Protein backbone atom coordinates (compact mmCIF):
# COMPACT_ATOMS: atom_id res chain seq x y z
CA UNK A 1 0.00 0.00 0.00
CA UNK A 2 2.21 2.79 -1.23
CA UNK A 3 2.41 5.59 -3.75
CA UNK A 4 6.12 4.88 -4.16
CA UNK A 5 7.55 2.51 -6.74
CA UNK A 6 11.22 1.72 -7.38
CA UNK A 7 11.67 1.34 -11.15
CA UNK A 8 15.46 1.15 -11.27
CA UNK A 9 17.43 -0.15 -8.31
CA UNK A 10 21.13 0.72 -8.33
CA UNK A 11 24.09 1.16 -6.07
CA UNK A 12 26.46 4.12 -6.26
CA UNK A 13 28.40 6.54 -4.03
CA UNK A 14 26.91 9.75 -5.41
CA UNK A 15 25.34 12.29 -3.10
CA UNK A 16 22.42 14.00 -4.87
CA UNK A 17 18.75 13.04 -4.73
CA UNK A 18 17.06 14.72 -7.69
CA UNK A 19 13.29 15.14 -7.87
CA UNK A 20 11.75 15.77 -11.31
CA UNK A 21 8.62 17.82 -10.66
CA UNK A 22 6.68 17.17 -13.84
CA UNK A 23 3.02 16.83 -12.79
CA UNK A 24 2.71 17.92 -9.15
CA UNK A 25 3.54 21.61 -8.95
CA UNK A 26 2.76 22.11 -5.28
CA UNK A 27 4.18 21.59 -1.82
CA UNK A 28 1.24 20.61 0.37
CA UNK A 29 0.28 16.97 -0.17
CA UNK A 30 3.00 16.60 -2.73
CA UNK A 31 3.67 12.92 -2.08
CA UNK A 32 6.66 12.86 -4.45
CA UNK A 33 8.38 15.74 -2.71
CA UNK A 34 7.63 14.15 0.66
CA UNK A 35 9.16 10.81 -0.41
CA UNK A 36 12.22 12.55 -1.88
CA UNK A 37 12.75 14.55 1.33
CA UNK A 38 12.43 11.45 3.53
CA UNK A 39 14.76 9.43 1.33
CA UNK A 40 17.43 12.11 1.04
CA UNK A 41 17.43 12.66 4.81
CA UNK A 42 17.64 8.93 5.52
CA UNK A 43 20.53 8.46 3.07
CA UNK A 44 22.28 11.75 3.84
CA UNK A 45 21.84 13.04 0.28
CA UNK A 46 21.51 16.59 -0.91
CA UNK A 47 18.02 17.24 -2.35
CA UNK A 48 17.75 19.03 -5.70
CA UNK A 49 14.50 19.76 -7.57
CA UNK A 50 14.09 20.16 -11.32
CA UNK A 51 10.86 21.88 -12.39
CA UNK A 52 9.92 20.73 -15.86
CA UNK A 53 7.76 23.21 -17.71
CA UNK A 54 4.53 21.49 -18.84
CA UNK A 55 3.93 20.54 -22.44
CA UNK A 56 1.39 23.01 -23.83
CA UNK A 57 0.12 23.86 -27.30
CA UNK A 58 -1.43 27.18 -26.28
CA UNK A 59 0.50 30.12 -24.86
CA UNK A 60 -2.49 31.13 -22.73
CA UNK A 61 -2.11 27.91 -20.74
CA UNK A 62 1.61 28.37 -20.30
CA UNK A 63 1.05 31.97 -19.14
CA UNK A 64 -1.49 30.73 -16.59
CA UNK A 65 1.01 28.14 -15.36
CA UNK A 66 3.92 30.60 -15.25
CA UNK A 67 1.92 33.27 -13.42
CA UNK A 68 0.85 30.86 -10.72
CA UNK A 69 4.23 29.22 -10.24
CA UNK A 70 6.25 32.43 -9.92
CA UNK A 71 7.14 31.71 -6.30
CA UNK A 72 7.38 27.92 -6.47
CA UNK A 73 11.13 28.06 -6.89
CA UNK A 74 11.53 30.16 -3.76
CA UNK A 75 9.16 28.01 -1.66
CA UNK A 76 10.91 24.82 -2.73
CA UNK A 77 14.23 26.26 -1.61
CA UNK A 78 13.01 25.73 1.97
CA UNK A 79 13.28 21.98 1.30
CA UNK A 80 15.88 21.65 -1.43
CA UNK A 81 19.47 22.83 -1.70
CA UNK A 82 19.10 23.59 -5.38
CA UNK A 83 16.03 24.23 -7.57
CA UNK A 84 16.20 24.65 -11.34
CA UNK A 85 13.49 25.22 -13.91
CA UNK A 86 13.91 23.70 -17.35
CA UNK A 87 12.10 23.66 -20.66
CA UNK A 88 11.50 20.70 -22.92
CA UNK A 89 13.26 18.92 -24.60
CA UNK A 90 15.44 17.86 -21.72
CA UNK A 91 19.17 17.46 -22.00
CA UNK A 92 19.79 14.64 -19.53
CA UNK A 93 23.57 14.79 -19.72
CA UNK A 94 23.66 17.83 -17.44
CA UNK A 95 21.36 16.18 -14.92
CA UNK A 96 23.25 12.94 -14.30
CA UNK A 97 26.33 14.32 -12.55
CA UNK A 98 26.72 13.06 -8.98
CA UNK A 99 23.14 11.81 -8.80
CA UNK A 100 22.47 8.92 -6.47
CA UNK A 101 18.68 8.71 -6.95
CA UNK A 102 15.95 10.19 -9.12
CA UNK A 103 12.35 10.75 -8.03
CA UNK A 104 9.64 11.63 -10.54
CA UNK A 105 5.87 12.18 -10.39
CA UNK A 106 4.03 9.35 -12.08
CA UNK A 107 3.01 10.45 -15.57
CA UNK A 108 0.33 9.19 -17.95
CA UNK A 109 0.26 10.91 -21.31
CA UNK A 110 2.72 10.34 -24.14
CA UNK A 111 4.45 13.73 -24.02
CA UNK A 112 5.35 13.09 -20.36
CA UNK A 113 5.86 9.35 -20.67
CA UNK A 114 8.56 10.00 -23.28
CA UNK A 115 10.50 11.99 -20.69
CA UNK A 116 9.98 9.26 -18.13
CA UNK A 117 11.24 6.60 -20.56
CA UNK A 118 14.36 8.70 -21.30
CA UNK A 119 14.95 9.12 -17.60
CA UNK A 120 14.58 5.37 -17.06
CA UNK A 121 17.08 4.62 -19.82
CA UNK A 122 19.54 7.12 -18.38
CA UNK A 123 19.07 5.69 -14.88
CA UNK A 124 19.91 2.16 -16.10
CA UNK A 125 22.89 3.33 -18.14
CA UNK A 126 24.31 5.53 -15.37
CA UNK A 127 23.50 3.23 -12.47
CA UNK A 128 21.14 5.61 -10.69
CA UNK A 129 18.09 4.61 -8.61
CA UNK A 130 14.76 5.70 -10.03
CA UNK A 131 11.58 6.07 -7.98
CA UNK A 132 8.16 7.06 -9.29
CA UNK A 133 5.53 8.46 -6.95
CA UNK A 134 1.82 8.50 -7.66
CA UNK A 135 0.98 12.01 -6.56
CA UNK A 136 -2.03 13.19 -8.55
CA UNK A 137 -4.66 10.52 -8.17
CA UNK A 138 -6.30 9.46 -4.95
CA UNK A 139 -5.79 5.71 -5.31
CA UNK A 140 -2.73 4.68 -7.36
CA UNK A 141 -4.04 3.47 -10.71
CA UNK A 142 -2.57 -0.04 -10.51
CA UNK A 143 -3.75 -0.44 -6.93
CA UNK A 144 -7.32 0.33 -7.94
CA UNK A 145 -7.36 -2.13 -10.83
CA UNK A 146 -5.12 -4.35 -12.93
CA UNK A 147 -7.03 -3.85 -16.18
CA UNK A 148 -8.78 -1.35 -18.40
CA UNK A 149 -12.15 -0.87 -16.73
CA UNK A 150 -15.37 -1.01 -18.70
CA UNK A 151 -17.22 1.83 -17.00
CA UNK A 152 -17.65 3.86 -13.82
CA UNK A 153 -19.82 1.02 -12.51
CA UNK A 154 -16.98 -1.51 -12.72
CA UNK A 155 -14.32 0.68 -11.08
CA UNK A 156 -16.40 2.58 -8.46
CA UNK A 157 -16.11 0.10 -5.64
CA UNK A 158 -12.48 -0.71 -6.41
CA UNK A 159 -11.65 2.94 -5.80
CA UNK A 160 -14.04 3.80 -2.97
CA UNK A 161 -12.98 0.77 -0.93
CA UNK A 162 -9.38 2.08 -0.93
CA UNK A 163 -9.94 5.73 0.00
CA UNK A 164 -9.13 5.24 3.69
CA UNK A 165 -5.78 3.73 2.71
CA UNK A 166 -4.71 6.83 0.78
CA UNK A 167 -6.36 9.79 2.50
CA UNK A 168 -3.43 10.79 4.69
CA UNK A 169 -1.83 14.19 4.12
CA UNK A 170 1.84 15.16 3.98
CA UNK A 171 3.98 18.28 4.34
CA UNK A 172 2.65 21.63 5.47
CA UNK A 173 0.16 24.30 4.48
CA UNK A 174 2.41 27.02 5.90
CA UNK A 175 4.41 27.35 2.70
CA UNK A 176 1.48 27.60 0.30
CA UNK A 177 2.58 28.90 -3.11
CA UNK A 178 0.55 31.41 -5.16
CA UNK A 179 -0.92 28.49 -7.13
CA UNK A 180 -1.85 26.56 -4.00
CA UNK A 181 -3.49 29.62 -2.43
CA UNK A 182 -5.48 30.22 -5.59
CA UNK A 183 -6.55 26.57 -5.83
CA UNK A 184 -7.56 26.62 -2.17
CA UNK A 185 -9.60 29.83 -2.70
CA UNK A 186 -11.41 28.18 -5.61
CA UNK A 187 -12.13 25.19 -3.36
CA UNK A 188 -13.36 27.43 -0.50
CA UNK A 189 -15.63 29.26 -2.91
CA UNK A 190 -17.05 25.95 -4.10
CA UNK A 191 -17.65 24.68 -0.58
CA UNK A 192 -19.21 27.94 0.66
CA UNK A 193 -21.28 28.90 -2.35
CA UNK A 194 -21.85 26.00 -4.71
CA UNK A 195 -21.79 22.59 -3.01
CA UNK A 196 -25.27 23.04 -1.51
CA UNK A 197 -26.63 23.48 -5.04
CA UNK A 198 -24.36 20.98 -6.82
CA UNK A 199 -27.42 18.81 -7.62
CA UNK A 200 -28.14 21.50 -10.25
CA UNK A 201 -24.58 21.57 -11.59
CA UNK A 202 -25.55 20.19 -15.01
CA UNK A 203 -27.40 23.42 -15.80
CA UNK A 204 -25.06 25.49 -18.02
CA UNK A 205 -26.88 28.72 -17.13
CA UNK A 206 -25.80 28.34 -13.50
CA UNK A 207 -22.16 28.41 -12.37
CA UNK A 208 -22.30 25.55 -9.94
CA UNK A 209 -19.32 23.41 -10.84
CA UNK A 210 -16.12 23.84 -8.87
CA UNK A 211 -13.83 25.10 -11.69
CA UNK A 212 -11.05 23.10 -10.07
CA UNK A 213 -9.99 21.20 -13.19
CA UNK A 214 -7.07 23.47 -14.27
CA UNK A 215 -5.69 23.35 -10.72
CA UNK A 216 -5.95 19.57 -10.68
CA UNK A 217 -4.31 19.40 -14.10
CA UNK A 218 -1.10 21.07 -12.94
CA UNK A 219 -1.23 19.36 -9.58
CA UNK A 220 -1.65 22.70 -7.78
CA UNK A 221 -4.04 20.85 -5.47
CA UNK A 222 -4.39 17.18 -4.63
CA UNK A 223 -7.72 15.33 -4.88
CA UNK A 224 -6.92 14.12 -1.35
CA UNK A 225 -6.91 17.72 -0.06
CA UNK A 226 -10.27 18.34 -1.73
CA UNK A 227 -11.75 15.11 -0.38
CA UNK A 228 -10.61 15.79 3.19
CA UNK A 229 -12.04 19.30 3.02
CA UNK A 230 -15.42 18.01 1.88
CA UNK A 231 -15.94 14.63 3.47
CA UNK A 232 -17.16 15.84 6.86
CA UNK A 233 -19.53 18.47 5.50
CA UNK A 234 -23.15 17.61 6.00
CA UNK A 235 -24.37 17.91 2.40
CA UNK A 236 -26.46 15.62 0.23
CA UNK A 237 -24.44 16.69 -2.80
CA UNK A 238 -21.10 15.59 -1.45
CA UNK A 239 -21.30 12.11 -2.98
CA UNK A 240 -22.12 13.28 -6.49
CA UNK A 241 -19.22 15.75 -6.43
CA UNK A 242 -16.82 13.09 -5.14
CA UNK A 243 -18.07 10.74 -7.86
CA UNK A 244 -16.81 13.26 -10.46
CA UNK A 245 -13.62 14.20 -8.63
CA UNK A 246 -12.52 10.69 -7.79
CA UNK A 247 -14.40 7.94 -9.66
CA UNK A 248 -14.79 9.68 -13.05
CA UNK A 249 -11.40 11.32 -12.94
CA UNK A 250 -9.59 8.14 -11.95
CA UNK A 251 -11.52 6.12 -14.53
CA UNK A 252 -9.92 8.49 -17.05
CA UNK A 253 -6.46 7.72 -15.64
CA UNK A 254 -7.28 4.02 -15.78
CA UNK A 255 -8.23 4.46 -19.46
CA UNK A 256 -5.01 6.14 -20.59
CA UNK A 257 -2.80 3.91 -18.45
CA UNK A 258 -4.16 0.60 -19.71
CA UNK A 259 -4.89 1.77 -23.25
CA UNK A 260 -1.72 3.27 -24.70
CA UNK A 261 -3.66 4.06 -27.91
CA UNK A 262 -6.09 6.33 -26.06
CA UNK A 263 -5.75 9.01 -28.76
CA UNK A 264 -6.10 6.68 -31.75
CA UNK A 265 -9.60 6.55 -33.23
CA UNK A 266 -9.32 2.86 -34.10
CA UNK A 267 -8.49 1.69 -30.58
CA UNK A 268 -10.13 4.01 -28.06
CA UNK A 269 -13.70 2.66 -27.87
CA UNK A 270 -15.73 -0.57 -27.90
CA UNK A 271 -16.64 -3.03 -30.65
CA UNK A 272 -20.36 -2.20 -30.37
CA UNK A 273 -19.49 1.46 -30.97
CA UNK A 274 -17.25 0.73 -33.99
CA UNK A 275 -19.93 -1.60 -35.43
CA UNK A 276 -22.68 0.96 -35.11
CA UNK A 277 -20.48 3.73 -36.57
CA UNK A 278 -19.56 1.47 -39.44
CA UNK A 279 -23.25 0.86 -40.21
CA UNK A 280 -23.98 4.60 -40.19
CA UNK A 281 -20.90 6.04 -41.81
CA UNK A 282 -22.71 6.72 -45.10
CA UNK A 283 -25.69 8.45 -43.45
CA UNK A 284 -26.39 11.86 -44.91
CA UNK A 285 -24.94 14.74 -42.87
CA UNK A 286 -27.15 17.81 -43.16
CA UNK A 287 -24.38 20.17 -42.05
CA UNK A 288 -20.62 19.90 -42.48
CA UNK A 289 -18.51 22.49 -40.69
CA UNK A 290 -14.80 23.20 -40.61
CA UNK A 291 -12.54 24.16 -37.71
CA UNK A 292 -12.67 27.78 -38.94
CA UNK A 293 -16.49 27.72 -38.78
CA UNK A 294 -16.30 26.50 -35.20
CA UNK A 295 -13.71 28.91 -33.87
CA UNK A 296 -15.41 31.85 -35.58
CA UNK A 297 -18.81 30.84 -34.12
CA UNK A 298 -20.33 30.29 -37.56
CA UNK A 299 -22.64 27.29 -37.16
CA UNK A 300 -26.45 27.47 -37.35
CA UNK A 301 -26.67 26.40 -33.69
CA UNK A 302 -26.60 29.25 -31.11
CA UNK A 303 -25.95 26.84 -28.21
CA UNK A 304 -22.93 25.31 -29.91
CA UNK A 305 -21.63 28.76 -30.88
CA UNK A 306 -22.03 29.89 -27.26
CA UNK A 307 -20.03 26.87 -26.08
CA UNK A 308 -17.32 27.72 -28.63
CA UNK A 309 -17.21 31.28 -27.28
CA UNK A 310 -16.71 29.92 -23.78
CA UNK A 311 -13.94 27.70 -25.13
CA UNK A 312 -12.08 30.21 -27.28
CA UNK A 313 -12.46 33.23 -25.01
CA UNK A 314 -12.36 31.66 -21.54
CA UNK A 315 -10.49 28.38 -22.08
CA UNK A 316 -13.28 26.17 -20.76
CA UNK A 317 -16.78 24.86 -21.49
CA UNK A 318 -19.36 24.02 -18.86
CA UNK A 319 -19.29 20.24 -18.23
CA UNK A 320 -22.75 19.51 -19.66
CA UNK A 321 -22.07 21.60 -22.76
CA UNK A 322 -18.81 19.70 -23.37
CA UNK A 323 -20.90 16.62 -24.11
CA UNK A 324 -23.23 18.56 -26.40
CA UNK A 325 -20.26 20.25 -28.10
CA UNK A 326 -18.50 16.99 -28.96
CA UNK A 327 -21.72 15.24 -30.01
CA UNK A 328 -22.40 18.07 -32.48
CA UNK A 329 -18.90 17.77 -33.93
CA UNK A 330 -19.70 14.09 -34.56
CA UNK A 331 -22.97 15.06 -36.26
CA UNK A 332 -21.40 17.77 -38.46
CA UNK A 333 -18.22 16.01 -39.63
CA UNK A 334 -17.61 14.07 -42.82
CA UNK A 335 -16.47 11.05 -40.84
CA UNK A 336 -16.21 9.84 -37.25
CA UNK A 337 -12.41 9.81 -37.56
CA UNK A 338 -12.30 13.48 -38.54
CA UNK A 339 -14.70 14.36 -35.74
CA UNK A 340 -12.52 12.57 -33.19
CA UNK A 341 -9.35 14.28 -34.36
CA UNK A 342 -10.87 17.74 -34.47
CA UNK A 343 -12.58 17.40 -31.08
CA UNK A 344 -9.26 16.39 -29.51
CA UNK A 345 -7.38 19.15 -31.29
CA UNK A 346 -9.78 21.86 -30.07
CA UNK A 347 -10.04 20.31 -26.61
CA UNK A 348 -6.29 20.19 -26.10
CA UNK A 349 -5.54 23.56 -27.60
CA UNK A 350 -8.24 25.72 -26.05
CA UNK A 351 -9.08 24.20 -22.67
CA UNK A 352 -7.05 25.33 -19.71
CA UNK A 353 -7.62 21.80 -18.40
CA UNK A 354 -6.79 20.20 -21.79
CA UNK A 355 -3.99 17.70 -22.40
CA UNK A 356 -5.14 15.59 -19.45
CA UNK A 357 -6.48 12.02 -19.23
CA UNK A 358 -9.93 13.57 -18.61
CA UNK A 359 -9.85 15.25 -22.02
CA UNK A 360 -9.00 12.07 -23.93
CA UNK A 361 -11.55 10.15 -21.91
CA UNK A 362 -14.27 12.81 -22.29
CA UNK A 363 -13.93 12.80 -26.07
CA UNK A 364 -13.79 8.98 -26.21
CA UNK A 365 -16.94 8.89 -24.04
CA UNK A 366 -18.80 10.73 -26.80
CA UNK A 367 -17.85 7.80 -29.06
CA UNK A 368 -19.28 5.24 -26.62
CA UNK A 369 -16.33 4.64 -24.25
CA UNK A 370 -17.54 3.86 -20.72
CA UNK A 371 -21.10 4.35 -22.02
CA UNK A 372 -23.76 1.91 -23.23
CA UNK A 373 -25.70 1.47 -26.47
CA UNK A 374 -28.79 3.67 -26.88
CA UNK A 375 -31.73 3.70 -29.27
CA UNK A 376 -30.52 3.65 -32.88
CA UNK A 377 -30.74 6.86 -34.93
CA UNK A 378 -29.17 8.51 -37.97
CA UNK A 379 -25.42 9.27 -37.95
CA UNK A 380 -25.03 8.29 -34.28
CA UNK A 381 -26.30 4.74 -34.64
CA UNK A 382 -26.36 3.47 -31.06
CA UNK A 383 -24.04 6.17 -29.69
CA UNK A 384 -25.80 8.43 -27.19
CA UNK A 385 -27.46 11.32 -29.01
CA UNK A 386 -27.95 14.87 -27.74
CA UNK A 387 -29.99 17.63 -29.33
CA UNK A 388 -30.94 21.23 -28.66
CA UNK A 389 -34.49 20.26 -27.64
CA UNK A 390 -32.94 18.52 -24.62
CA UNK A 391 -31.12 21.71 -23.69
CA UNK A 392 -34.29 23.81 -24.06
CA UNK A 393 -36.41 21.33 -22.11
CA UNK A 394 -34.01 20.96 -19.18
CA UNK A 395 -32.40 24.39 -18.76
CA UNK A 396 -32.75 28.11 -19.29
CA UNK A 397 -30.30 27.64 -22.14
CA UNK A 398 -30.88 31.09 -23.64
CA UNK A 399 -29.47 32.55 -20.44
CA UNK A 400 -26.27 30.58 -21.10
CA UNK A 401 -26.15 31.97 -24.66
CA UNK A 402 -26.67 35.49 -23.39
CA UNK A 403 -23.86 35.08 -20.86
CA UNK A 404 -21.45 33.87 -23.50
CA UNK A 405 -22.44 36.68 -25.85
CA UNK A 406 -21.47 39.11 -23.12
CA UNK A 407 -18.00 37.77 -22.35
Q: What is the rounded distance in angstroms from the CA atom of residue 365 to the CA atom of residue 380?
A: 13
Count residues contacting ligand FAD (CB under 6 A)? Answer: 28
Candidate segments 134-142, 153-161, 175-183, 318-326, binder of ligand FAD by CB under 6 A: 318-326
Residues 245-264 that bind ligand FAD (CB under 6 A): 245, 248-249, 252
Residue placing its CB nearer to ligand FAD in the complex, 34 or 371: 371
Asked if residues 243 and 210 have their Cβ atoms less than 8 Å apart, the reply is: no
Candidate segments 17-25, 44-52, 315-323, 373-381, binder of ligand FAD by CB under 6 A: 315-323
Binding status of residue 219 toward ligand FAD by CB under 6 A: no
Residue in 32, 87, 39, 79 with CA at minimum distance from that of residue 62 = 87
Interface residue with ligand FAD, options 211, 295, 314, 373 (CB under 6 A): 211
CB of 351 to ligand FAD, least distance (A): 5
Residues 173-202 that bind ligand FAD (CB under 6 A): 201
Q: What is the rounded distance in angstroms from the CA atom of residue 2 to the CA atom of residue 262?
A: 26
CB of 320 to ligand FAD, least distance (A): 8
Going by C-beta distance under 8 Å and a sequence separation of 6 or more, which residues neighbour residue 41? Answer: none
CB of 209 to ligand FAD, least distance (A): 3
CB of 378 to ligand FAD, least distance (A): 21
CB of 25 to ligand FAD, least distance (A): 16
Candidate segments 26-34, 40-48, 70-78, 240-248, binder of ligand FAD by CB under 6 A: 240-248
Going by C-beta distance under 8 Å and a sequence separation of 6 or more, which residues neighbour residue 30? Answer: 24, 135, 170, 171, 219, 222
Residue in 26, 47, 34 with CA at minimum distance from that of residue 176 = 26
Binding mask 343-382 for ligand FAD (x = CB under 6 A): ----x---x-xx-x-xx-xxx-xx----------------
Residue placing its CB nearer to ligand FAD in the complex, 47 or 137: 137
Residues forming the site for ligand FAD (CB under 6 A): 201, 209-213, 216, 244-245, 248-249, 252, 319, 322-323, 326, 347, 351, 353-354, 356, 358-359, 361-363, 365-366
Amino acid sequence: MSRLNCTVSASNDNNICLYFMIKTFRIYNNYSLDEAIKYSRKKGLSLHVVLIEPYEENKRNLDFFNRLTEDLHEKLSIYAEKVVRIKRPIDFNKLLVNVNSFFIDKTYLRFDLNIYEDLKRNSYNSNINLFTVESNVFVPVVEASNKEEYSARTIRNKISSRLDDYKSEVLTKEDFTIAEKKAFDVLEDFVSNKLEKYDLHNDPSLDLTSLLSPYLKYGFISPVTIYNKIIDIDSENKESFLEELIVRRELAYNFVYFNSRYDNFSYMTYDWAYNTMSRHKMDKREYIYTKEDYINFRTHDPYFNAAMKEMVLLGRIHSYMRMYWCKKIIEWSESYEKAFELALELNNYFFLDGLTPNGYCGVAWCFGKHDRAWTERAIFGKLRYMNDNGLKRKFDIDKYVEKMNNI
